[in-house]
Amino acid sequence: MVREQYTTVTEGTHIERPENQNIYKIGIYGWRKRCLYLFVLLLLAILVVNLALTIWILKVMWFSPIGMGHLHVTADGLRLEGESEFLFPLYAKEIRSRVDSSLLLQSTQNVTVSARNSEGEVTGRVKVGAQMVEVQSQHFQINSEDGKPLFSVEEQGAVVGTGRLRVTGPEGALFEHSVETPLVRADPFQDLRLESPTRSLSMDAPRGVHVKAHAGKLEALSQMDIILQSSEGVLVLDAETVGLTKLKQGTQGPAGSSNGFYEICACPDGKLYLSMAGEVTTCEEHSHVCL
């Protein structure tokens, strides 16, 4: 700023103006000016570096108008091409693969899929680990392509919905407790074995137990006793020939009296034995077998 001094004079008087000794210059000079220029250069350098880094990030991350790298934004959601790794939880309403490929979920530890209600509580969970596949749910069910239930498990029990339950293990099926079924049948041309190595084998039914062998023989083997018992009915052996090959034989009667025929006798304890047949029964004569 320039401060001027004004002097009042009369007309015809000539006065020389004094020199302007008090003059103030406008602007920044000296070291302040150099610091300002240095600061502007620093800002310009930072701007150039940021622009270069932004361009580099866009190039490395493969940003494009349709997405980022293998991740494409479509009208139906996000489409991911190739293999991807998620370091944190992934929340999605639906995850599906392409039509011509399968969906693969892989982890070095385990893969866990959880379902939660509106309050955040877990209502169902599937955990696939290295040693075991664990399902946590109130009801587990497997359906066929047409929606028919094939297998279901709940607290009340398990249900197999297929027409046939086939066990292909070499040792068959092992049941620790009772089994309820309307039919037990082997494959064609295969033997059916019901075996209890260390305990007894019991088959009970309120309206009878039917054991049939349409094209073969029926064997019942036991280390101890085989008991056929009917509480209210009779025991019927209906066959063309009934053979008891290892029955004990009583004392032989008079020569020529039996013509080679025998009769079956029973002891009071139910034991059977053979006795040479005569005109009348000879069981009383040979009852010493019962002793």
Domain ranges of the chain: 1-95, 105-146, 245-291
Task: Write down the residue that tokens 């103030």 correspond to.
Answer: 24
pLDDT of residue 45: 96
State in Å, rounded, how far the first CA of the chain is from the last one.
149
Convert the pLDDT of each residue in 78-126 to its tens digit.
887 777 777 887 788 888 887 788 888 888 888 888 888 888 888 889 9
One-letter amino acid identity for 266? A
Task: Write down the residue that tokens 């996000």 correspond to.
Answer: 78
Under a CB-based contact definition with an 8 Å cutoff, are residues 71 and 78 in contact? yes
Convert the pLDDT of each residue in 210-254 to its tens digit.
777 777 788 888 877 887 777 777 777 777 777 777 767 665 545
Using a pLDDT cut of 90, give the percent of the chain over it.
8
Dist CA 290 CA 288 (whole Å): 5
Dist CA 50 CA 64 (whole Å): 20
Convert the pLDDT of each residue in 156-190 to its tens digit.
888 888 877 777 777 777 777 777 777 888 777 77
